[in-house]
Amino acid sequence: MTTGDGAPSSSRVFVVRRDQDIYIHTLRKLFNESHGIFMGLQRSEEELAGKSRKAQLVQVSKNYRSVIRACMEDMHQAAALKLGPAFLQVSILSAMELIWNLCEILFVEAATAGPLLLRLLDWVRLHVCDVDSMVREVLSSESPSKHKLFWNVVDVFVLQGRMDEARHLLSKEASANPASMNMYKILDDLMKKMPVPSLGNTQTLTELELKWQHWHEECQRYLQDGTFASNPHMESICKILLGDEDAILEKKELMTTWYHFLVTRLLYSHPTVKPMELRFYAQSSMDLFLGGESSPEPLDLILMAAFEFEMHQVIKECSIVLSNWWFVAHLTDLLDHCKLLQSHNLYFGSNMREFLLLEYASGLFSHHSLWQLGVDYFDHCPQFGRVYLELHIERVPLSTEQKALKVLRICEQRQMHEQVRSICKIMAMKALRNNRLGSALSWSIRAKDAAFATLISDRFLKDYCEKGCFSDLDLIDNLGPSMLLSDRLTFLGKYREFHRLYGEKRFAEAARLLLTLMTAHIAPCSFWMTLLTDALPLLEQKEVIFSAEQTYELMRCLEDLTAGNPDKQKFQDDDVETTKVEMLRLALARNLARVIVKEGTVEGS
Amino acid sequence: MEDVSAKFVSQKISRTRWRPLPAAALQPPDVFATGSWDNEDNRISIWSAGDLGNAGLNGEYHGEPHLLCDIQHNGDVMDMQFLDQERIVVASSTGTVTIFRHHQNNQTLSADHRWAKAHYHVDQDTSCGGAACTGVVCNNPEIVTVGEDGRINLFRADQKDAVRTIDNADSSTLHAVTFLRTTEILTVNSIGQLKIWDLRQQRNEPSQIFSLAGDRVPLHCVDRHPNQQHIVATGGQDGMLSIWDIRQGTMPVSLLNAHEAEMWEVHFHPSDPDHLFTCSEDGSLWHWDTSTNVSEKPSFLHQGGRSTAYLSHSTMNQSVVSAWLSNDPTKDRMEITNLIPNQTLSVNSLDVLGPCLVYGTDAEAIYVNRQLFA
């Protein structure tokens, strides 16, 4: 890796090995803004056909480019404060914008012969800025025509086809130097009359070619007549106007790049160049310009591939050279929307656009914060996007409940039920470990996880057995319809209701509820003893609460309970347990006696 | 939409808050604070909204927000509120509550006071025991915080330790808190309950519990009507906006189907409470307008400045009372507008003051609208 002179528009592309790009602060804006543009593109009207669709796509391309430029501006400002990788980044971004702009002209807009040249001229003017400072210096000096770089600046204007500005400067020279007034007038006239393609439909290509041919001959005549012989500067300008390659090549330092040379050549020798002819001129321009002294850089090869309309080659070269998938992913997606990429199937089945988007989004997921953008990209990869998303989303660390909620919402919106269950389980377990039973329950309700709800209810019941009272009454008293999520939970709710009814002295209802709990089999077997023990105070009341039917039921439950465990040593040896059973039997018998009498008695009027 | 200025800030914004204006101020608010989340290096930032020097023809302010100062913050910024003109209280996902001071002479921020481990699970001393502090509300000098540990803390700005702590106030996560009266607070939790706590009483029980009728959908945000203290609005996980009258019943007065995903914040406009704003995970921000007979209002009432608020309150007293509590949506016309044309990622936070609205999104951008009622 060579360190350049740090000039922002250096035409070198540096190969950076480690992907640190996503962590650069200023680049985050690029990722976020381009995500917005990407989503807009995916959602845009497919029904628009022809010109309006093309205009829409060109606008999208321009939006992407303005985002790159904004990022470059920020980086430039950041670079002013501290050196280091910022310079590198600025030049990489500049190269990206250069390539993108060319692709926009050639592929997205698909400029035809005529407008093509105008677009290319704009492109060169925008991107070759090494000469800007020199231009500013000359223009702002008191008498520009006396400046030593004066003719350089005039040459720059001519090479870039900026005729008006060149003529303006020349007029200053003419007024300072009346002797050359005659030459100046002729040159000025030639420059004014030069035919250029127009954007509107005011002239056809044939008309333009005819006019241009005429004008070219006129220039030729003036040159051969020796009109400019006394002023070498003006003579070289005239030669440039005639498209003399050697004359143009002499100004190599002012053009700085072979593609500038290419466009200048085209301007002055083939202004009606067709897109398909570009490749020949491009190749020869590069050869002439580099002249065997230096070999082409990666950027040069990419641009050459673009001029040759080899889209896949462009994408491939960019992928190799750039350290981050951002550029190729978005560019390919745009080209795909322009319906320009054939389904170039890669050997593992997905197409190039999808492959690049998957790679880019996977890179985003490795970032602690940008993973949210990656989700939308996966959504728009029809073949493998969902699978990738399922695998990646599970690995996002859930540091707070709010983050977990966001991840959960993403999964729910895409019906990823497995992931929803798994996330809710993780959060519920965390809550349970921290003794936040209410939170744990709210997570199980979200996942409709009956098994976990049962687990939580068992925890509550265990707490009750140990402490003799319920914890978190605000939760149990207010379960509402979520009670139905699991049998155990329903039991918990109803059991608490029983306690409440008892506390409010509504004994008949309490009794009925208690019985339902046992006979409907929603009470776990381990709890039956507790329930029966709870029945004791009701049996012992002065007033008879349980009816005969109910008492028989209770007795049956008790017998079921004791009969079911004949071999259980603990059950028989435990004095407390045996006493309890005895007491229950006694109470039930007494109650039965009283209730038979009561029910058998004829009520008085 | 031209009045909205956007700025991409390279950090996901979890909270935005306008700095409160001094009592007699006439100009609209100019400075706001933001907090970020999900970064390795989270920051509290103070911004100036647009360049005051670039006043346009009609006195409109152009230009995007620019950063005045910022400071590093440990953990995600979960909630934030200005204590006074210079100090801001911030709740962190590490369970810490910090007061930052904004020094306006040299535009810097510094940490003034910190209550570390204000919220924790199980054991305060274990390093990983911190629980996120999810909500903070201030009434200078009192500060109340709530968290994922179900705890409520009452701090005073000048005291080192908590004045009062209610442990295990809730068995689930408390998501938000706001003042009902100076001695009463409202909390909402993740099992769909709205609770009133009377801080004068020593017992650790809520004085009243309200809950939704159907499924216990978690509630994420709460706000009280600025003038009529019995009207409360809450937003739920299913995007539902509920309006409660806490004088009567334990269930909401009206349920309005709003967003398609979690509603993160709900705010009554402080000086013009006929207007309510909500923002959500689904990327939309809704403006709810119950001011009836819009066309009959004199034109100057359309500006949402402080001076006009008194007028609207006194002349339209009757309609204001019934507007939010009306059970008949056809009787009082309510206009609902989505203020975001191209929604993508979640709008996490919003704040309104005067004619200005600021909101922040997960797309790492902040938006300022300084002509809300134009």
pLDDT at A130 over 80: no
pLDDT at B17 over 90: yes
Interface residue of B211, B364, B366, B367 to substitute, partner A, most A CBs within 10 Å: B364
* From A578-592, B40-54, B265-279, the region with the lowest mean pLDDT: B40-54
Tell me which residue of B88, B64, B67, B92 sits closest to B143, measured CA to CA. B88
Tell me which residue of B48, B49, B40 sits closest to B93, measured CA to CA. B40
In this complex, do B365 and A32 lie within 8 Å of one another by their Cβ atoms? yes
- Mean pLDDT, range A354-381, rounded to an integer: 92
pLDDT at A64 over 60: yes
- Spell out the SS3 assignment of A477-539: CCCHHHHHHCHHHHHHHHHHHHHHHHHCCCHHHHHHHHHHHHHCCCCCHHHHHHHHHHHHHHH
- Mean pLDDT, range A25-49, rounded to an integer: 86
Q: Residue A362: which residues within 8 A CB-CB, separation 6 or more?
A: A374, A388, A392
Which of B190, B262, B342 is the closest to A409 by Cβ? B262
Instruction: State the CB neighbour count (10 A cutoff) for residue A211.
Output: 15
In this prediction, residue B173 carries a pLDDT of 93
Tell me which residue of A215, A224, A231, A120 sits closest to A170, measured CA to CA. A231
Q: Shortest Cα distance from A342 to chain B (angstroms)? A: 30
From chain A, the residues in CB contact with B211 under 8 A are 478, 480
pLDDT tier for residue B298 given thresholds of 50, 70 and 90: very low
State whether residue A426 is helix, strand or coil: helix
Q: Residue B229: which residues within 8 A CB-CB, separation 6 or more?
A: B180, B181
Top-confidence residue, A443 or A133: A443
Q: Cis ω on the peptide bond leading into residue A481 (within 30° of 0)? A: no
In this prediction, residue A3 carries a pLDDT of 42
In this prediction, residue B295 carries a pLDDT of 41
In this complex, do B38 and A39 lie within 8 Å of one another by their Cβ atoms? no
- The CA angle A330-A335-A339, to the nearest 5 degrees, is 140
A441 touches B: beta carbon within 8 Å: yes
Top-confidence residue, A389 or A231: A389
In this complex, do A400 and B261 lie within 8 Å of one another by their Cβ atoms? no
**Contact (CB, 8 A) for A483 and A444:** no
Q: What is the pLDDT of residues A112-129, one digit of tens each?
A: 888 999 999 999 998 877
In this prediction, residue A108 carries a pLDDT of 92
Label residue B365 left, alpha or beta by phi (over 0 means left) and psi (-120 to 50 means alpha): beta
In this prediction, residue B137 carries a pLDDT of 96
Q: What is the pLDDT of residues B130-176, one digit of tens each?
A: 889 999 999 989 999 999 999 999 999 988 899 999 998 988 999 99
Q: What is the pLDDT of residues A362-374, one digit of tens each?
A: 999 988 899 999 9
pLDDT at B128 over 70: no
Looking at A256-325, list the stretches that DSSP marks H as alpha helix, in order from N- to C-terminal side: 258-269, 278-290, 298-307, 311-321
Mean pLDDT, all residues of chain A: 85
**Between A150-159 and A163-176, two packed helices, what is the crossing angle to 10 degrees?**
150
A445 touches B: beta carbon within 8 Å: yes
In this prediction, residue B195 carries a pLDDT of 94
Q: Residue A598: which residues within 8 A CB-CB, separation 6 or more?
A: A544
In this prediction, residue A138 carries a pLDDT of 83
* From A110-124, A196-210, A314-328, B252-266, the region with the lowest mean pLDDT: A196-210
- Mean pLDDT, range A217-228, rounded to an integer: 88
B93 touches A: beta carbon within 8 Å: yes
- Mean pLDDT, range A531-551, rounded to an integer: 82
**C-alpha to C-alpha distances, A604 to A389, A599, A601, nearest whole angstrom:** 77, 12, 9
* From A187-201, A232-246, A314-328, B2-16, the region with the lowest mean pLDDT: A187-201
**Contact (CB, 8 A) for A489 and A457:** yes
Pairwise CA distance, residues B11 & A508, whole Å: 62
What does the block give as tokens for B226?
Answer: 């600025």
Q: Give strand ranges (E) for A332-415.
A: none
**Contact (CB, 8 A) for B252 and B290:** no
The complex scores an ipTM of 0.88
- Mean pLDDT, range A30-35, rounded to an integer: 94
pLDDT tier for residue A264 given thresholds of 50, 70 and 90: very high
pLDDT tier for residue B332 given thresholds of 50, 70 and 90: low
Pairwise CA distance, residues A400 & A404, whole Å: 6
Q: Which residues pair with B16 in a beta bridge?
A: B34
In this prediction, residue B305 carries a pLDDT of 37
Across A455-469, A591-605, B182-196, B211-225, the highest mean pLDDT is recorded for B182-196
CB interface of B with A, residues 279-338, below 8 Å: 281
Q: What is the pLDDT of residues B37-76, one digit of tens each?
A: 999 889 999 999 875 445 544 444 457 898 999 999 999 9
Q: Considering chain A, what percentage of its residues have pLDDT values greater than 90? A: 31
In this prediction, residue B99 carries a pLDDT of 95
- Mean pLDDT, range A426-432, rounded to an integer: 91
Top-confidence residue, A134 or A106: A106
Pairwise CA distance, residues A169 & A152, whole Å: 11
Spell out a b/e string for A463-472, using b for 16 or more CB atoms within 10 Å of the CB, else e. bbeeeeebbb
